Copies of this chain bind each other. A is one copy, B any other.
């Protein structure tokens, strides 16, 4: 179980395994991935109502600095918050549908190849790598085409030029 190795690593470094940290580690490890600080906080609060949001931030920061979690933005699909996932998996890219928000993961040799080329090309020591791709998933491509067409009809009917308007996208706190 991945969580044990995390605990081990932290202990080695003289980091105290407090109740709060155990809760957070467990959540990050068990809950698949792509949690942001706020959601992690909400989940942690259920296990310990006293646990403070600040502790979540501090813990995430420590885990990130220690290389135990990776920080993602997922193309800022949901806003400006960051998402976190354990670092134990193989390197992968995140593929985000900009319409439905679904996140896919892509493993594949171009990623390793990219890393190696950067290392040899610049003599660079790669510690973190992050690839995020945004677009439309297979399902949403159809729906999107329909939406665009409807919009076109509307604006043409109103005698407007083809100026499209992007819908407001601020969905932060539900």
Task: Give the docked Cα–Cα distance between A34 and B106 (Å).
Answer: 27
B124 touches A138 (CB 8 A): yes
CB-CB < 8 A to A159: which residues of B? none
| A87 contacts partner chain B, Cβ-Cβ < 8 Å | no
A128-B118 contact given A76-B71, A162-B14, CB 8 Å threshold: no
Instruction: Give every chain B residue within 8 A of A110 (Cβ-Cβ).
Output: 110-111, 113-114, 117
What's the minimum C-beta distance from A5 to chain B, rounded to whole angstroms?
A: 18
Cα A161 to Cα B15 with chains together (Å): 10
A132: which of B12, B122, B130, B164 is its contact (CB, 8 Å)?
B130
Count A interface residues, CB 8 Å.
Answer: 48
Chain B residues near A97: list those with CB within 8 A.
124
Which residues does A use to contact B, with CB under 8 Å?
12-15, 65, 71, 73, 75-76, 80, 93, 95, 97-98, 104, 106, 108, 110-111, 113-115, 117-118, 121-138, 141, 161-164, 166
Q: When the two chains form their complex, are residues A122 and B108 in contact, meaning their CB atoms are under 8 A apart?
A: no
A163 touches B15 (CB 8 A): yes
- Please name the residue on chain B nearest to A138 by beta carbon: B123
Residues of B near A130 (CB, < 8 A) are: 75, 130-133
Asked if B127 and A135 make an inter-chain contact with CB atoms under 8 angstroms apart, the answer reads yes
CB-nearest residue of chain B to A106: B118
Bound CA–CA A125/B9 (angstroms): 40
Which of B117, B136, B163 contacts A125 (CB under 8 A)?
B136
